């Protein structure tokens, strides 16, 4: 593009529909040309991959058009909320690669203004105190085809309503005994307009405001106004809020004018196969000990994925791939896993680990001799270098890589056959040693000393290449092999089954893996390894120098052939 200080009037291409709406508003000069979004989590649980979709949208659109994005904790229900969640939410957003600068806000910051607005609406005859129970109120709601019934308390005077509301907040009445409702229209075709509840009594202390308030605003009364108080111009949320939008606009209209008015735009939420995304269900898994915590690597939480070894780039790439629409959908978790593999393939250091070992002895290799061979760290990354790996007479290979009576096209090791040990020599199987039960305990081979890299036989072709580690120097590590937490494709679509019954009993299998010394020496938190032919691994938080623990982030799919052909 040419140097051009004029405002860019060319319409950017490839915008999703939300970005297009935002762009149009900016073009029209709405809100004085300002763009301010917000991400509004309720601190009642850890963030999950669905939230990541919202985060990428809220922060992404602001970045794209030079606006800002606030982090606003939607802390209007003290019973369920906790600072532990606030802290985790901050950490997860940063880890995903987004920053809200000094714009960290809390809906509870606006309790005074919201309360004032409620009092004003009462005085204007637009809100009333209802003494009925929530059950009675629900029973009067009507249906989409029949109008609701007006509350017997609907026509109280503003004076009486104000007096009662102030006393509600003074703690005079029990929880559930009274609510404040907006006086709108019990016959409205939009159910949300049938005198929605604005405030309820809660006597549980709030994690920020303590016992100051005894009444707390409902989502519909808090959200739009909080947007307004904060200067938010675009309040982007998920499709279930479409029917709430008229109410959002109704309340915001009490504050806004033609110079500034926030607007709500909705996109489809992320649903993933073999996953539950409801915070209530995730909390149940944690509370009942069905997983090891919110950051259990099998959880769909951001913290779980981080612990498992997913990268922020892979999550963002996945979200880019699925995009934003106005239609609910169920996305395949394989797409996410694909994005994870792609990124790890790019960055992970290639190493050797043997997960189901059998001893292999090279009978013509001198006893007591050790040499080192050089291993490429990452063929996908130029300049990533090599590391050395010890080679000696006794090694481990995978049990599955040997067959005594192989079928045709078995290109691994078999009696009389040859394979290359990756990065080292070509070996030939001469014999097997069995125990009394007939189990193979050792495989005896000879090696061709001319086949190491740089030697005359280096390019001699054999069909198979095996990974291996030297027995004497191998280090035992715990390997946690994860699979999907649920074994039902769409757990949310099975309302008659308890979701606990759909848990995959094999979602975690613990094994011991024999790793090359380099792995033990480089097992710092956050390191990404590819254990060749087995999968991508990262050290778990439980890992120590004495007891190494690795999470398998994800398996390699169909890479066997690639490894074979590359030597
Ligand atoms: P709750 O049932 O507790 O309200 P929630 O998942 O809606 O759960 P919030 O903390 O209210 O949690 O969500 C914060 C933001 O994240 C909201 O704007 C919400 O629309 C968005 N969000 C939540 N779940 C998803 C999802 N699966 N896909 C996309 N966005 C989501
Ligand atoms: Mg919500």
Task: Report pLDDT for 9.
Answer: 57
| Ligand 1 pocket, Cβ-based, cut-off 6 angstroms | 40-42, 44, 50-51, 53-54, 74, 237-238, 269-270, 277, 279
Residue nearest to atom 16 of ligand 1 (CA): 51
* Rama region for 101: left / alpha / beta (φ>0; ψ in -120 to 50; rest): left
Of 51, 242, 245, the residue with max ligand 1 atoms within 8 A of its CB, to mutate for a pocket test, comes to: 51
Q: Residue 525 in contact with residue 487, Cβ under 8 Å? A: no
518-to-216, 349, 381, 420, 529 alpha-carbon distances in Å = 57, 11, 19, 21, 11
Task: Tell me what the pLDDT averaged over the chain comes to.
Answer: 95
pLDDT band at residue 558 using 50, 70 and 90 as cut-offs:
very low
Instruction: State in Å: Cα 43 to ligand 1 middle.
Output: 11
Task: Report pLDDT for 146.
Answer: 95
What is the rounded CA–CA span in Å between residue 118 and residue 292? 43
pLDDT over 80 (residue 40): yes
Instruction: State in Å: Cα 107 to ligand 2 middle.
Output: 13
Catalytic residues: 42, 269, 279
What is the rounded CA–CA span in Å between residue 465 and residue 445? 15
Q: Find the helix or strand (DSSP H, E) in which 253 lies.
A: none
Q: Where in the chain is the domain with CATH 2.40.240.10?
A: 349-562
Q: Where in the chain is the domain with CATH 3.40.50.620?
A: 17-267
What is the rounded CA–CA span in Å between residue 271 and residue 490? 9
At 448-501, the pLDDT tens digits run 999 998 899 899 999 999 999 999 999 999 999 999 999 999 999 988 999 999
Helix, strand, coil % in the chain, rounded to nearest 5: 30, 25, 45
Q: Which atom of ligand 1 is nearest to the CA of 42?
A: 10
* Rama region for 535: left / alpha / beta (φ>0; ψ in -120 to 50; rest): left
- pLDDT, mean of residues 323-340: 95
At 189-203, the pLDDT tens digits run 999 999 999 999 999
Task: Report pLDDT for 11.
Answer: 74
**Among all ligands shown, which has an atom nearest to the Cα of 77?**
1
pLDDT over 90 (residue 27): yes
Q: Would you call 440 exposed, middle or buried from its count of C-beta atoms within 10 A (0-12, 13-18, 19+)?
A: middle
Q: Which atom of ligand 1 is nearest to the CA of 241?
A: 20
pLDDT over 90 (residue 164): yes
**Among all ligands shown, which has an atom nearest to the Cα of 241?**
1
pLDDT band at residue 6 using 50, 70 and 90 as cut-offs:
low
Q: Which atom of ligand 1 is nearest to the CA of 80?
A: 3
Q: Find the helix or strand (DSSP H, E) in which 327 lies.
A: none
Q: How many CB atoms lie within 10 A of CB 9?
A: 6
Which tokens go with 318? Answer: 């996945």
List b or e across 78-111, with b for residues whose CB sees 16 or more CB atoms inside 10 angstroms: bebbeeebbebbbebbebbebebeeeebbbbbbb
At 246-301, the pLDDT tens digits run 999 999 999 999 999 999 999 999 999 999 999 999 999 999 999 999 999 999 99
Q: Which atom of ligand 1 is nearest to the CA of 236?
A: 18
Nearest one of 268, 432, 419 to 363, comparing CA atoms: 432
Instruction: State in Å: Cα 167 to ligand 1 middle.
Output: 33
**Among all ligands shown, which has an atom nearest to the Cα of 73?**
1
Percent of the chain with pLDDT over 90: 93
Residue nearest to atom 27 of ligand 1 (CA): 50
Residue nearest to atom 10 of ligand 1 (CA): 41
Nearest one of 547, 410, 521 to 466, comparing CA atoms: 410
At 333-345, the pLDDT tens digits run 999 999 999 999 9
Instruction: State in Å: Cα 275 to ligand 1 middle.
Output: 15
What is the rounded CA–CA span in Å between residue 201 and residue 171? 8
Architecture per CATH, domain 349-562, reads as Beta Barrel (2.40)
Instruction: State in Å: Cα 41 to ligand 1 middle.
Output: 7
What is the rounded CA–CA span in Å between residue 36 and residue 68? 5
What's the whole-model pTM score? 0.93
Q: Find the helix or strand (DSSP H, E) in which 55 lies.
A: helix 49-64
pLDDT over 90 (residue 566): no
pLDDT over 90 (residue 356): yes
Q: Residue 397 in contact with residue 357, Cβ under 8 Å? A: yes
pLDDT over 80 (residue 51): yes
At 79-93, the pLDDT tens digits run 998 899 999 999 999
Q: Is CATH 3.30.70.1560 the classification given to domain 17-267? A: no
- Residues 6 or more apart from 253 whose CB is under 8 A from it? 261
CA dihedral 26, 27, 29, 32 (to 10 degrees): 30
């Amino acid at each position: 593009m040419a140097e051009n200080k004029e405002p860019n009037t060319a319409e950017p291409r490839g915008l999703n529909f939300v970005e297009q709406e935002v762009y149009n508003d900016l073009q029209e000069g709405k809100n004085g040309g300002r763009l301010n979004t917000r991400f509004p989590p309720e601190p009642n649980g850890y963030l999950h991959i669905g939230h990541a979709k919202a985060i990428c949208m809220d922060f992404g659109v602001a970045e794209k058009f030079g606006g800002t994005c606030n982090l606003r904790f939607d802390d209007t229900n003290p019973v369920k909320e906790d600072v532990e969640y606030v802290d985790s939410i901050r950490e997860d957003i940063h880890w995903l690669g987004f920053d809200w600068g000094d714009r960290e806000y809390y809906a509870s910051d606006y309790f005074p203004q919201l309360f004032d607005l409620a009092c004003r609406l009462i005085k204007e005859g637009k809100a009333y105190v209802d003494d009925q129970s929530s059950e009675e109120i629900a029973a009067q709601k009507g249906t989409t085809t029949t109008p609701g019934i007006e509350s017997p308390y609907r026509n109280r005077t503003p004076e009486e309503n104000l007096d009662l509301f102030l006393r509600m907040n003074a703690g005079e009445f029990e929880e559930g005994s009274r609510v404040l409702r907006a006086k709108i229209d019990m016959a409205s075709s939009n159910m949300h307009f049938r005198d929605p509840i604005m405030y309820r009594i809660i006597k549980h202390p709030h994690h920020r405001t303590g016992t100051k308030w005894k009444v707390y605003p409902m989502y519909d009364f808090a959200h739009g106004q909080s947007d307004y108080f904060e200067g938010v111009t675009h309040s982007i949320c998920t499709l279930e809020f479409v029917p709430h939008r008229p109410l959002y606009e109704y309340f915001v209209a009490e504050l806004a004018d033609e110079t500034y008015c926030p607007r709500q735009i909705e996109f489809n939420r992320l649903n993933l196969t073999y996953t539950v995304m409801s915070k209530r269900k995730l909390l149940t898994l944690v509370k009942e000990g069905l997983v090891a915590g919110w950051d259990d690597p099998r959880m769909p939480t951001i913290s779980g994925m981080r612990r498992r070894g997913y990268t922020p780039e892979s999550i963002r790439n996945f979200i880019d791939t699925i995009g934003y629409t106005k239609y609910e959908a169920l996305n395949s978790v394989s797409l996410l896993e694909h994005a994870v593999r792609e990124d790890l393939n790019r960055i992970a250091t290639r190493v050797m680990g043997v997960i189901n070992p059998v001893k292999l002895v090279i009978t013509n290799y001198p006893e007591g001799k050790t040499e080192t061979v050089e291993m490429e760290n990452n063929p996908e990354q130029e300049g990533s270098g090599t590391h050395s790996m010890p080679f000696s007479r006794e090694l481990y290979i995978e049990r599955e890589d040997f067959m005594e009576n192989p079928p045709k096209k078995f290109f691994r090791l078999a009696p009389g056959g040859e394979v290359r040990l990756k990065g080292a020599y070509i070996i030939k199987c001469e014999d097997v040693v069995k125990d009394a039960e007939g189990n193979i305990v050792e495989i005896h081979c000879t090696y061709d000393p001319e086949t190491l890299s740089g030697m005359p036989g280096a390019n001699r072709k054999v069909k198979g290449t095996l990974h291996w580690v030297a027995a004497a120097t191998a280090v035992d590590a715990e390997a946690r092999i994860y699979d999907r937490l649920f074994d039902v494709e769409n757990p949310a679509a099975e309302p008659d089954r308890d979701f606990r019954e759909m848990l995959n009993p094999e979602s975690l299998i613990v094994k011991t893996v024999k790793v090359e010394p380099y792995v033990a020496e480089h097992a710092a938190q956050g390191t990404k390894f590819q254990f060749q032919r087995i999968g991508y691994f990262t050290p778990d938080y439980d890992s120590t120098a004495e007891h190494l623990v690795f999470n398998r982030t994800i398996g390699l799919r169909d890479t066997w052939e690639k490894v074979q052909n590359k030597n």
